[in-house]
């Protein structure tokens, strides 16, 4: 085994590295790969802990398969979101993490998940019915509205009414702070988390969080007082779930996981959908081929048939490959000495699989900056070569749900509307907090209804 030594990386002061990483993450990661290869060390973030970035599939396999006792994510690895709470899946590690994953997995998979198809379709139709023919609009806000409603209705199980409206208003205010830079700084530097009254940024945040908690706990209380066995939303299923000792989830666990799913699943799904609309309309052959496939599925595609559609799947996969909305998997903290690619990593080191860099390896994805769904029809990639949802014990628990929602929304919109991009300017990827999003939200124009829908509409009007 080699002596303890970190992989090479830039020698510039940590503050400058942090600035580069915040301002132009993709270019910075690419420049480091060119110079140092597929494993390098950066010193970024509030405490400048060395972070080892990795885009080598064998090393990623090792990370995803190493025992979590030796290498794991969670709060000790620096995953801290003040909104989520200590029982959040993202914050937990070890046995409690494992227990919580077991309880949360069934509602987000299989037949239970497919049953939300109708709801997703209805929400999509309702939101897109506000689009006006000939008027340019940004797609991202519509996708945010869809994914937000899907989470509040399918996951929280809320129905239209005063509680739904209040929760929606406070959550929107909380997730779109008036001073986003200040919010990021407060999360990075806890010393800034000072409640100086209801006008101060942290004071506003704390009061919003309290209102959200009150609304969620009121919902949980009501469900316990008036149980309804016919309910199939994810909160109801979580309330019925029991661990190996027969114990249900506590109210705090239920609250923390609901908020975690909202934070982890809302903006990610919306952003990826906006990218998908961009690429589908940017490359005309892709749109044509996709419409041909969707047309064979009929007006109300069966969820199982939709999930099996090969070209739709390839388009979604390529969208998630090219600009993965999560550039990085979660930090993993080395807990006992670990050798990776000949480097002996000491406890306390952070290891980070770079999803973006792995997805742009020319040996795996030739002409990696081009949108080519065919790559996913021509060959199969391992889960260490293609990892938009991360992997191992931390793999995104909402993966199946997000893919299903993505396919349902795309099929519903593309079968109904004829759309095009509002201009020819290429859309650039930019950092949006921890995510990678389209620079201006993707501007499009609706040209009209697709001919077969026009026919259905005319027939029903006769
Ligand atoms: C296209 C949409 C999405 C993308 C690209 C995405 C991506 C990711 C990634 C990269 C991770 C980290 C995995 C790792 O480090 O190995 C993750 C974790 C997670 N995601 Fe997602 N996600 C999406 C949608 C969702 C949805 C819809 C939900 C919930 C309904 C969700 C819930 C979570 C949770 C709870 C975790 C933490 C898992 C753990 O720590 O055990 N995500 N996601």
What distance in angstroms lies between residue 268's CA and the mean position of ligand 1's atoms? 8
Give residue limits of the domains in the chain: 14-157+231-461
pLDDT band, very low/low/confident/very high, at 450 (cuts 50, 70, 90): confident
DSSP 360: T
C-beta 290 within 6 A of ligand 1:
no
**8 Å CB contact between 418 and 449:** yes
In the prediction, which pLDDT does 177 show?
Answer: 72
pLDDT score of 456 more than 70: no
Q: Is the pLDDT of residue 2 over 60?
A: no
Which atom of ligand 1 sits closest to the CA of residue 257?
A: 35
pLDDT score recorded for residue 460: 42
Considering only CA atoms, which residue is closest to atom 21 of ligand 1? 396
Give the 3-state secondary structure percentages of the chain, helix then strand then coil, rounded to 5.
55, 10, 35
Mean pLDDT, rounded, for 78-105: 88
With pLDDT > 90 as the criterion, what percentage of the chain qualifies? 65
Ligand 1 atom having least distance to the Cα of 266: 27
H helices of 347-389, in order, are 355-359, 375-378
Q: What pLDDT sits at residue 65? A: 97
State both tokens at 59.
């090393």
User: Is the C-beta atom of 90 inside 6 A of ligand 1?
Assistant: yes
Ligand 1 atom nearest the C-alpha of 353 is: 15
Q: From ligand 1's centre to the CA of 184, what distance in Å?
A: 20
Best residue for ligand 1 mutational test, from 95, 99, 156, 264 (most atoms within 8 Å of Cβ): 264
Q: Is the CB of 264 under 6 A from ligand 1?
A: yes
* DSSP structure class, residue 233: S
Taking 60 as the threshold, does the pLDDT of residue 14 lie above it? yes
Is residue 390 in contact with ligand 1, taking CB distance under 6 Å?
yes
Q: Report the Cα–Cα distance between both ends of the chain, in Å, rounded.
A: 79
Query: CA-to-CA distance for 307 and 404, rounded, in angstroms?
Result: 7
Question: Is 359 near ligand 1, meaning CB less than 6 Å away?
Answer: no
Best residue among 396, 400, 407 to mutate for probing ligand 1's pocket (most ligand atoms within 8 Å of CB) is 396
pLDDT digits (tens, 9 = 90+) for 392-443: 999 999 999 999 999 999 999 999 999 999 999 999 999 887 889 998 889 9
Residue nearest to atom 37 of ligand 1 (CA): 90
- Quick one: which atom of ligand 1 is closest to the CA of 392? 16
DSSP 247: P
**CATH class for the domain made up of 14-157+231-461:** mainly alpha
Binding site membership of 109 for ligand 1 (Cβ less than 6 Å):
no
Which tens digit of pLDDT belongs to each residue from 338-361?
A: 999 999 999 999 999 999 999 999
How confident is the model over 306-336, as pLDDT tens digits?
999 999 999 999 999 999 999 999 999 999 9
| The pLDDT of residue 39 | 97
Q: Binning pLDDT at 50, 70 and 90, where does residue 4 land?
A: low
90 versus 110: which is more confidently predicted? 90
List the single range of 2-11, 340-349, 380-389 with lowest mean pLDDT. Answer: 2-11
DSSP H stretches of helix in 156-250: 162-175, 180-188, 201-225, 234-240
Confirm or reject: Cβ of 294 under 6 Å from ligand 1.
no
**CA nearest to 25, candidates 341, 442, 325:** 325
Which of 167-181, 189-203, 360-374 holds the top average pLDDT? 360-374
Regarding the beta carbon of 103 and ligand 1, being less than 6 Å apart is answered: no
């Amino acid at each position: 085994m080699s002596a303890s030594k970190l992989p090479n990386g830039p020698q510039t002061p940590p503050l400058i590295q942090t600035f580069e990483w915040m301002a132009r993450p993709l270019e910075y990661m690419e420049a480091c790969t060119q110079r140092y290869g597929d494993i390098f060390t950066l010193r970024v973030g509030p405490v400048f802990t060395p972070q080892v970035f990795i885009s080598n599939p064998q090393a990623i396999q090792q990370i995803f398969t190493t025992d979590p006792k030796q290498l794991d994510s969670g709060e000790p690895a620096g995953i801290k979101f003040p909104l989520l709470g200590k029982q959040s899946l993202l914050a937990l590690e070890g046995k409690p993490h494992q227990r919580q994953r077991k309880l949360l997995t069934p509602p987000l998979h299989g037949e239970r998940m497919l049953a939300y198809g109708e709801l997703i379709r209805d929400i999509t139709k309702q939101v897109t019915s506000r689009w006006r023919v000939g008027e340019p609009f940004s797609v991202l806000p519509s996708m945010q509205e869809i994914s937000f409603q899907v989470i509040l209705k399918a996951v929280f199980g809320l129905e239209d009414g005063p509680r739904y409206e209040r929760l929606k208003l406070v959550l929107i205010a909380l997730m779109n702070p008036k001073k986003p830079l200040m919010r990021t700084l407060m999360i990075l530097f806890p010393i800034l988390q000072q409640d100086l009254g209801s006008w101060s940024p942290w004071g506003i945040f704390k009061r919003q969080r309290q209102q959200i908690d009150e609304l969620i706990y009121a919902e949980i209380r009501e469900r316990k007082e008036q149980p309804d066995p016919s309910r199939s939303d994810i909160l109801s299923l979580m309330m019925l779930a029991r661990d190996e000792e027969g114990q249900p989830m506590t109210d705090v666990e239920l609250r923390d996981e609901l908020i975690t799913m909202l934070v982890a699943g809302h903006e990610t799904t919306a952003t990826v959908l906006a990218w998908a609309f961009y690429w589908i309309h940017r490359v005309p052959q892709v749109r044509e081929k996709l419409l041909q496939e969707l047309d064979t599925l009929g007006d109300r595609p069966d969820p199982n048939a939709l999930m099996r559609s090969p070209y739709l799947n390839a388009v979604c996969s390529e969208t998630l490959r090219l600009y993965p909305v999560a550039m990085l998997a979660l930090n993993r903290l080395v807990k006992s000495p670990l050798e990776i690619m000949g480097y002996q990593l000491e406890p306390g080191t952070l290891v980070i699989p770079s999803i973006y860099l792995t997805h742009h390896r020319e040996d795996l994805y030739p002409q990696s900056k081009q949108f080519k769904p065919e790559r996913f029809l021509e060959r199969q990639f391992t889960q260490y070569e293609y990892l938009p949802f991360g992997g191992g014990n931390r793999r995104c628990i909402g993966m199946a749900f997000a893919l299903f929602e993505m396919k349902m929304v795309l099929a519903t919109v593309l079968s109904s509307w004829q759309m095009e991009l509002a201009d020819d300017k290429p859309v650039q990827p930019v950092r949006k907090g921890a995510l990678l999003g389209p620079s201006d939200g993707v501007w499009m124009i609706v040209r009209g209804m697709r001919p077969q829908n026009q026919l259905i509409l005319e027939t029903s009007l006769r």
